[in-house]
């Protein structure tokens, strides 16, 4: 992996910045890669737009800003509407299907994947862990960070006493992402036949 640009976006209170921190820490501390995180959020702590941009690379990162993300995770319709057009050709957009009902038009040049993150988080016990569900799907679908590194990072960054719930949400998202990845491979093989 030369350089992977990732954008996570949603609204304040969804744990977007925390999700970015978890990915970045997992890359640097546990997968021995390089990563840079930049974040942006409005003056409101909850409900305002926010985003986290990550650059992950096995090589030295000379330019720290995300220009054209290859992977984008959106957890609100506003984030989707604002950022989806920035997705690189050949990129992958992961959207919370429960909060982003109007996905950009699917094209052959971009993969648009709806993840029922909020619904899966509610099944685990609390919708607040939808960001962990998305991290699980991100891990399964991109392979950019190892599962073990993500789990270790989650355990070190989530509030004490919530580790089990967060790991359970991550696992649920990871399993969902693995199924999506398998379906995509199957469709690809069928299209080639």
Are the C-beta atoms of 117 and 1 separated by less than 8 Å?
Answer: no
Domain edges within the chain: 4-192
**What does each C-alpha distance from 187 to 95, 144, 161, 172, 192 come to in angstroms?**
20, 22, 41, 23, 9
Strand order, beta sheet including 49-57: 34-41, 49-57, 4-11, 71-74, 92-96, 111-115
Tell me: the pLDDT tens digits for 114-170?
999 999 999 999 999 999 999 999 999 999 999 999 999 999 999 999 999 999 999
Cut 0.95: pTM above it: no
What is the pairing mode between strands 4-11 and 49-57? antiparallel
Confidence at residue 101, expressed as pLDDT on a 0 to 100 scale: 87
Class for the domain spanning 4-192: alpha beta
Collapsing DSSP states into helix, strand and coil, what is residue 52? strand
């Amino acid at each position: 992996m030369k350089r992977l640009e990732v954008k996570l976006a949603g609204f304040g209170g969804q744990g977007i910045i925390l999700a970015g921190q978890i990915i970045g820490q997992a890359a640097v501390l546990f997968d021995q890669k390089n990563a840079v995180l930049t974040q942006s959020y409005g003056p409101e702590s909850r409900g305002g737009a926010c985003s986290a941009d990550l650059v992950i690379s096995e090589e030295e990162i000379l330019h720290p800003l995300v220009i054209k993300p290859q992977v984008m995770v959106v957890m609100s319709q506003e984030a989707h509407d604002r950022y989806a057009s920035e997705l690189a050709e050949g990129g992958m957009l992961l959207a919370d299907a429960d909060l982003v009902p109007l996905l950009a038009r699917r094209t052959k040049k971009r993969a648009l994947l709806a993840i029922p993150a909020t619904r899966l988080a509610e099944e685990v016990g609390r919708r607040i862990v939808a960001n962990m569900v998305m991290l699980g799907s991100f891990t399964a679908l991109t392979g950019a960070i190892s599962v073990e590194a993500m789990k270790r990072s989650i355990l070190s960054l989530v509030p004490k006493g919530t580790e089990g719930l967060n790991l359970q949400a991550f696992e649920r998202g990871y399993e969902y992402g693995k199924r999506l990845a398998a379906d995509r491979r199957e469709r690809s093989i069928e299209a080639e036949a």
